[in-house]
Each structure stands twice: as C-alpha cells, then as structure tokens.
Structure 1
C-alpha cells in the first residue's frame, strides 16, 4: 500500500519514513542529484554571467541533467484526452503536405484505388507503432529526451537527440515554406496587385518577392507561440484541425461537382506486373510513413499529457487512420478534377485558389480564398509548432538543461530555420523532396529499440530517479554513460538504409538492387534488424542492475495519482516542493542522522 508523509515541517521522523523504503543506492543517487543541483559557487565574473543565463525554474530543481520542462508531468497537467490526440495526428494529415501526397503515390504508377489501399495499410501499422512507442510517456510521464537516456544511456542519449534536432530544423523550415504559400491565399484575397505581384529578385534567387513576404509573415506568426506551454496547444490544434477538414471537404465537393465527376486519374488502370506492384505498395507505405516518422518517434513528448489511457490510444489510432486516408484521397480527386477542368493537375490548395482568382476576381472567389487561407494557415502553424517547434525545444533542453528550456529551444529552431533555405526545395533541382522519403531511416531504429527495451527488457517498469544522476551506480549509466547494445543496434539498422538514400538522391551512382529494395521497404525491415539486434545483444550480454525492470519505491517527482502509487507499491511525497532532496537539506537533519537511519535493522532488511 502507498504511504503518505505528514504535511508540515520536515522532521527526523519524516526522513525515517522515506528512507525505510529506500535502498543505499537510492540515497547515494539522491545525494548526487543534490550535488548537481547545487553546482559550484559563482565566484568569477564568467560563472556569475553563466548563472544569469540559466533558465527560469521558479525554485524547482535545475542541473546539467534537469529543468522543469524535463521533469515527469504532474497530475494537474494531464489535460489531453481523445480530441487532443485526434487533433495532434489530424494536423499532419489536414495539411498541404498530405493533400499533395497523391502526386508522389501516382508517380509510382499506382492508380487512386491502389494508392488508397496502400495508405490504409500504412496508417493502421503506423497507428500501432505510435501507440506502442507512446507507452513510456503515458505510464511514466516522460518525454523523448528521457526515453533516449533510458535506451542509449545518460551520455549516449545525445545521439538520438541530435538526430531529432536535425530533422526538426529541416522539417520546420519545410513546413514554414508551405505555410507561407497558405498565407498567400489570404493576401491574394485582399489585393489583386498582390496576386499578380511581379518579381524583383535576381534570377539567381530561387523565389519570388510574393513568396518571400508570405514566408516572413508566417514565421512572425509562429514566434509568439514559442512562449505558450506545449500542453496548452491542444485546444487551438483541435479548432484549426476541424477548420482544415471542412475546407478540404468544401474544395473536393466544389471541384467534383463542377467537373461532373472525379476526373481521369480515378479511372486509370495499373500496368505494373504483380512483382512490381508489390514493391510499389511497399515503397508507398514507406514513403507515407517517412513524412510523419519524426512525430512517431517523439510521441512521448505529448503522450505524457494524457488524462485517460484508453481515450488517448483511440485518439491516436483514429487521428492517424481516418484523416490520413481521407485527405490523400481528397487531394487526388481534386487534382484529377482540376486536370479535366483547367488542363493542369493542381496538387496544393494555393494553386487551386490562384486559378479561381485568375478566372474571376469576384467576391465569391475572394471569400473562398480567404477562408481556405485562414484554415490551412492555422493548421500549418499548429502542425509545425507541435511536430517540430516544441519538439525541437524539448530536444535542445535535453542537451543543455541549465540554459535551454522549451521556449528558448523553440525560438532557436525558428531563427535557424532560415539557414535551411526551404525555397530551394521547391524552386530548384534540389534532391530534398527525394531525400524526404529517407527521414525514417534515422528515427525508425530508435523507435524499434525503444519499443523492445520498454516491453521486453524492462517489462514495462522504469526507474525515474536514475534519469537525473551522473553517478556510475545509476541505472542508465551503462558503460561510461553509453549503452553500447543500443548504439550497435542503431548502427545496424541505419547502415543498411543509407545506401538507398544515396541512390535516391544521386542518379550517377550505380544501384545495388538488393539495397534499394531494402530502402523501399525500410519501414518493415529496419524494425526487424534493429529490434532483433538489440534484443539479441541483451540476451548475450545482459545488463545486470538491481533496479532494472523495477519501479521506484518513492514517487520522487509527485507525478502519479494515489491509485497509481498503490498499484506500484510506491510511497508518496506530499510536500510543498515535491522533491526528496529537501529532506536531506533540512537544517535539523545531519549526516549522522542519515547514517543512523541507514544502519537501522529494519532499513537494512528492507534494502536487502
């Protein structure tokens, strides 16, 4: 049964109650955390300057491994239910990128029906993988950063974090450019001159003045949202998600009705052989997965806000499967109707709106442009912030917790995204759009290792105390802070996928068909390689630690309900600061008191 400390002044009795369920190692780790959080006294001018740069923490713990954004989520902050997770996954689907996915799928010589069949299978598998990967967040309230410490080690975690930071920066820039195209719809509805704005940039600059203005405006819209807590992004995400849904339904209904049918793409036949068709289905599934693989990888960053486990699972599943299938179908039908109506297959909403305004700059067309622009701009903003902006903020906070929190990290990715120059992805012969199909080779091994580690190695039990210590006796110290088993499994999966990336972006390289086939289906193959390698290495070289596969004995972070603590036989800490360290810092508790308590026969028996 869970116990409760008496509220009020910390006493010697309080310490004895807590320490009666703590092992000697627990005490040493707590003392090590205390040392990290105290840090060195700021004496020199440089150290005083660094102290001023520390993130605001409002009296909460701060160290080289910890800040408030990296702590397990407290019970009052569990505010995400079914609709929050439905919207979180609805946003990447009710977006410009997903609306235009059909162009890539039809380019594989699949028709509309075959493409949708592949997407249904892909979305069901992605939903299952997402739910599996979300469990550390749902059960233990930890995000992607702590996930990486769990599987790669305290220092090894930098590998997974840096991968995710790099992808976040690139994808943030990519989606910001698409968001700028949505802003163009709004501004074009205001002014005919803006719609037909002439370019004043040199030909060497691969973008127009019009697109530059909209990209800048979209970036400025996002900046204030850096100061919003990520857990509070769920309500506007729900609103913008459904605005985009209604806009897509309206566009599809109008175009099909005006055309008198779905257009030529819908009636095309597949001419591929059975073998070729099978590989194209496999590649279509992988291609679709790659675009949202980063969101699958860092699902714990948001699943830790879950207020109800069943509702969260259902929201994730339906949010991935239903919009992911419907929006792609709508995009293909709209493009098909446009081909018959206008002689060109338009794959993005801004192209369709531009055609309508060119045909007739009437009040009706301008109203349609405005409302479509508002809807898609809103969905792009919250898609980009949740999937890349806040996610990168969490990751950067994991690299330097004392100086970077989510707000500072998000501002960083917003500023640095300009360096990526996303306009070159669309207006030059850049191989970026081809390379996008390979993004998952970096995240899929991490996801696979995380699932195997959590369910098969740890048996769904995680020690939270060890996430914030540099002590070699910590559970996640492994070998000098690095889990070599996980690193090896990561490299095995990654190395087999890299040749396909080279082939897809460099046509001058001779293709090894076997490696290219592996790349086309890496969504299926990498989990088998990395997952099996990691599990096998743990069987051959088991990690022996007496807290591996066990829960904490004390709720050190006050992040569980009374029912959860009772189920885990965990003691509660009910105190103003919710931090075990204060019990060792209290003025009336001396080192001799701690030694005396640890030498108590009852405590010794409990430790044994």
Structure 2
C-alpha cells in the first residue's frame, strides 16, 4: 500500500474515484487482527504470491547488504587496533560464521510462518513487552541509516567532483563545530534525495535492484583494490608487518574486532523474519550463511589490501576510506564509475538492512497511521537528519566501539526469540493468536516475565564494559572481559537462561501440539511439497 488511500468522489456527475491523502490508514479487510484491534496488510503473513526470494536472491541480498563503504572501511579499521592482515581476515570469517547462525535460526520463523519480526517477537516477549526489542531495533536501524547516508554523501562528492571539478571550490560557510563542510552538506542532501524514491519499491520487487548491485559493486571493490595493489607493486607494508599488538593488547584487539563484526549484523539476527517471510521455501533462506560469509570476506579483504597499498602509493598513514583514495585519482571517468558504484552500494544496504527493518517496526507500533512505505519515509527523515554520523565515523576506533556497543543488548533479544521458537515452542506458534492482544500470548498483562528476567540477568553484567567503551576514562577492571566478546556475551547466556526458565516455569497455554498457521489449506500443502522438494 502506498501513501494514499482511495476515496469515492461524490458529485452530481459521478466523477471517478480520486487518490486522496489520509493520515489514518484504512483497516485492511485481510487483517488477521480480531475485531476492534487495528492492523494493516503489511503486518499480515506474507501471501503465497509474494514468496519470490530464491537462492539467487539470497546471494544478491547479502552482497547488497554487505557491499557498501562502511563494510569496506570496517575491515581496514581492524588494523589500527593492532591486528595483522591475516588476523583481521580470520576475525572477519569467524565473526560472520558465528552471527550467521542466529540469523538463520530466527529467519526460520519467517520462512515457515511468513510473519514479520514484530509479530514473531510477541510469542517470546509477550504482546506488549515485545515493543522493547521492536523500538530498540527501530532506533538502531535509524542510526545505521544515517551512517549509510553519510557514506553515500561522500560517494556523491566524488561523483560530482568527477563531473565538475569546480564543485570542490565551493566555499565553506559552516562553523568547525558543525563537523562537516558546506560541500559535505550539499553532497549529503543530494544523496538523500537520490535515495528517497527507492523507499517506494515493495520488498518483494527489490531482487532486481539486488541483482544490479551484485554485478556492479564487487567490480568496484576489486577495481579499487587492484588499482592500489598494482600501483604499490604489492600488498603494502601492513600485509608484511603482522600484528602490532602483543599479549593482552592483542587479545583485546581481537575481541573488539570480533564484537564489532558481530555487532554489524546484530540487528539482522533479531529481525531476519522481516526478509525470510518472502523466501520461496523454508529451506531456501539457509543460503544466507555462504552468502554473508563470501560477501563479507570479499569486501573487507579488498578494503584491507587497498588501505595497506595506499601507504606506499601516497605515503603517510593508510587511507581507510575508498573516497580518500579516489580523491587522489586524476582519472575522472574511473572516479565517477567507482563512486557511483558505492552510491548504489549504500542505497542497497540502507534499504535492505535499515529502512525496511525500521518500517516494519513502525508499522507494528502505529498500524493506524503507518505502513511499510510510510515507515520507510519516516526512517529517511528521522534517520537521515536526526543523527550525526560524521561524529560516529570520526575514526576507525570510534566506529568499532559504536558497532560493538549495542551488540550486547541485541544479543539477548535474538537469543530469546531463538530459544522460544526452537527449544520452548518447538516450531508450534498459533499465528492468529499473535495478532490478538488478549490471546494466549498475553501472558501477564502482555508481558512474559521469563523474557524480562532473561534481559535483566544477561544484559546487566555487560553494562560496566559498555560504560567503559563509551567513556574510556572510566575503568571497570577485569569485568570488562565479559563485555568484550559483544554479541556472544549476550546471546549464549540468554539462550540458556530463557530456556531453563521455561523448563521450570512453563506457560502451558502457549505450548500447543502443532502450529496454527495463517495459510489457506491449498497454500500450506503447496508449501509443504516445495519444502520437501527443496530438502531433497
């Protein structure tokens, strides 16, 4: 559904209906919510006609999410922390293997039941307490949206510089305290405008945009890395020097890098049902594991080698940003081609990982007024202008700290959802009841106290480490090591705590013998047949 609803024109001449904007959305006839509970079609289980994401789409989806300037810089940022190139690549591999497990486990909810994350969370957190992870994820999606938009603005600067070199001569009229120049602001605004129309594309149709990025952006990453390595005559000094950190400093750098890389996808570990609900079969979404791993290793390795080679080519410190590298290129055609590729990369990452995710959350919070299209527009406005990404990206270390900081909070959220579906309910959800605030998933006043206890027990021990990360002047002692692994520090304990609480204190009304799905009998049968065929 778009921004408008259709109303019948009333006139003597019986004019045809016209599109009229209405703040409040019409209650969808297909809504699963009971009478008196407002919902809309974007929250309903995905209909059979929209199960369009096959194996190729999942590969292109992850490359679309990964291949962006932020990921290009993330791998390179591990080097200043004290890791060698081989250590950094090993850290990337391990972190992405680890984080792909909860992504697929929680994604199974969407691929089997076809429901989005905000609805699925009601089973484990309770109908009303589920708003906590929903709001948390919406805020984080907006933060990441701002970062991707800032990176897109940097790409826009290089594109415009390639077309009109005089663009860089625009005088700065902003104070130093603003954190950006007039050129930066203009580029940021132009990129934001360019990105805006993509928010009107339905998620089921995004696979065509994924395919474009799947071809274009890897060529850009490889071309950037290849050009730098060729000019340097090799991989550069960072490749040869190995790890600079030793002992505890080395372990700390490894943990920080591991936490940051896991934290990079912590939100998708929570909300993967938002995307897997479009999967052609329940098993197809498993291809996320190789798709995520291969894409991440490719982009981060290109970033590491390009940054290392830049030391020889340009002298001084390594250039972590691809746009700092392009600023030294004289070939305007090459600068435009590569920079435009990163524009596509940023838009793809922003849409897949951020705007659609936040839109699903906002839809569940305000179903009377917000659908997925409106939610994406709100994300574009709030995420694009209410945050200051140039502060977050001021250095490689601060960027890693930011990414790892929220992973310890998202980890327990993801674990509770995993444990509830796989260990407690054992795939058996009553889907229609998930839309009823007075149904079996009400627990106590809409709150599942087992989820509350799990959050308190598993998040509280990480808070001292989180405080020290935000403010290094505050020393918390050895307890910091529990925080250091990030996502894992929250995910593994929460998985066990929530499962044990349900073993000793089960909520019998939610433990049903078989799943109650939303699909029509003939559609369910077709899904079962396809699932069996996929398994074979």
- Structure 2: any 5+ residue segments left out of the alignment? 1-20, 532-536
Preserved contact between residue 124 and residue 448 of structure 2 (Cα < 8 Å): yes
Whether the 8 Å CA contact 2:55–2:284 is kept in 1: the answer is: yes
Q: Give 3-state SS (helix, strand or coil) of 1:510's partner.
A: coil
Please tell me whether residue 215 in structure 1 is matched to residue 206 in structure 2.
no
Distance 1:463 1:566, change over 3 A: farther
Asked if 1:519 is matched to 2:489, the reply is: no
Distance 2:395 2:526 in 1: 58
- What is the CA–CA distance in structure 2 between the aligned matches of 1:561 and 1:412, rounded to whole Å? 35
Deviations 1:29-66 (A, max 9, x none): xxxxxxxxxxxxxxxxxxxxxx9532256643376452
1:14-413 → structure 2 map (5 Å cutoff)? 52-56=22-26, 59-61=29-31, 64-270=37-243, 272-273=245-246, 276-314=249-287, 316-344=288-316, 345-357=318-330, 365-413=331-379
**Whole-Å separation in 2 of the counterparts to 1:300 and 1:52:** 29
| TM-score, length-scaled by structure 1 | 0.79
Q: 1:462·1:549 contact (CA, 8 Å) conserved in 2?
A: no
Residue 245 of structure 1: CA displacement? 0.3
* Greater shift in the superposed pair: 108-117 or 490-499: 490-499
1:71 positional shift: 0.5
Cα pair distance change 1:560/1:452, threshold 3 Å: farther
- The 8 Å contact of residues 75 and 559 in structure 1, kept in 2 or not, is answered as no
| Contact 1:145/1:395 (8 A) holds in 2 | yes
Work out whether residues 77 and 396 of structure 2, in 8 Å CA contact, stay in contact via their aligned partners in 1. Answer: no
SS in 1 for 2:426: coil
Q: Does 1:561 align with 2:533?
A: no
The 8 Å contact of residues 259 and 341 in structure 1, kept in 2 or not, is answered as yes
> Could you tell me which residue of structure 1 aligns to residue 457 of structure 2?
492
1:304 to 1:429, Cα distance in 2 relative to 1, 3 A:
closer
Decide which moves more: 272-281 or 331-340. Answer: 272-281
Give 1:530's match in structure 2, choosing from 472, 489, 494: 494
Matching of residues 436-447 of structure 1 within 5 Å: 436-447=403-414
Q: Quick check: 1:449 aligned with 2:405? A: no
Distance change in 2, residues 1:66/1:560 (3 Å): farther
Q: CA deviation at 1:421?
A: 2.6
Equivalence for 1:424: 391
Change (3 A) 1:268 1:262: same
Cα distance change, pair 558–238 in 1 and its aligned pair in 2 (3 A): farther
Residue by residue, what CA displacement relative to the aligned partner does 1:490-530 show, whole Å, maximum 9, x if unpaired? Answer: 2222222222121011122122222x111111332212221
Q: Deviations over 1:109-138 (max 9, x none)?
A: 110011111211112122222111111001
The aligned counterpart of 1:415 is: 381
Give the C-alpha shift of residue 263 in structure 1: 0.5
In structure 2, do the counterparts of structure 1 residues 379 and 558 end up closer, same or farther at CA, with 3 Å as the change threshold? farther
Distance 1:502 1:559, change over 3 A: farther
User: In terms of Rg, which structure is larger?
Assistant: 1
Compute the RMSD of aligned alpha carbons: 2.4
Note if contact 1:241-1:379 (Cα within 8 Å) is conserved in structure 2.
Answer: no
Residue 16 of structure 2 corresponds to none
Cα contact 1:295–1:387 (8 A) shared by 2 = yes
Deviations 1:264-316 (A, max 9, x none): 000013354455544433332211111221122211100010013443212x1
Instruction: Determine the C-alpha separation between the residues in 2 that align with 1:211 and 1:72.
Output: 42
CA contact (8 A) 1:102 1:332 kept: yes
Alignment correspondent of 1:459: 426
**1:340 aligned counterpart, secondary structure:** helix
Paired residue secondary structure (1:226): helix
1:430 deviation in Å?
A: 11
Q: Is the 8 A contact 2:27 2:368 kept in 1?
A: no
Offset of 1:448 from its aligned partner? 0.7
- Preserved CA contact (<8 Å) 2:138 2:358: yes
Give the 3 Å change call, closer, same or farther, for CA 560–275 of structure 1 in structure 2: farther
Distance 2:381 2:518 in 1: 39
Cα distance in 2 for residues equivalent to 1:148 and 1:384: 23
Distance, in Å, in 2 between the alignment partners of 1:98 and 1:130 is 18
Is the contact between residue 91 and residue 383 of structure 1 (CA under 8 Å) also seen in structure 2? yes
Q: What is the aligned length?
A: 506
SS in structure 1 at match of 2:515: coil
Cα distance 1:212–1:559, how it changes in 2: closer, same or farther (>3 A)?
A: farther
Residue 433 of structure 1 and its aligned partner are, at CA, apart by 5.6
Q: Is the 8 A contact 1:74 1:558 kept in 2?
A: no
8 A contact 2:225–2:305 mirrored in 1: yes
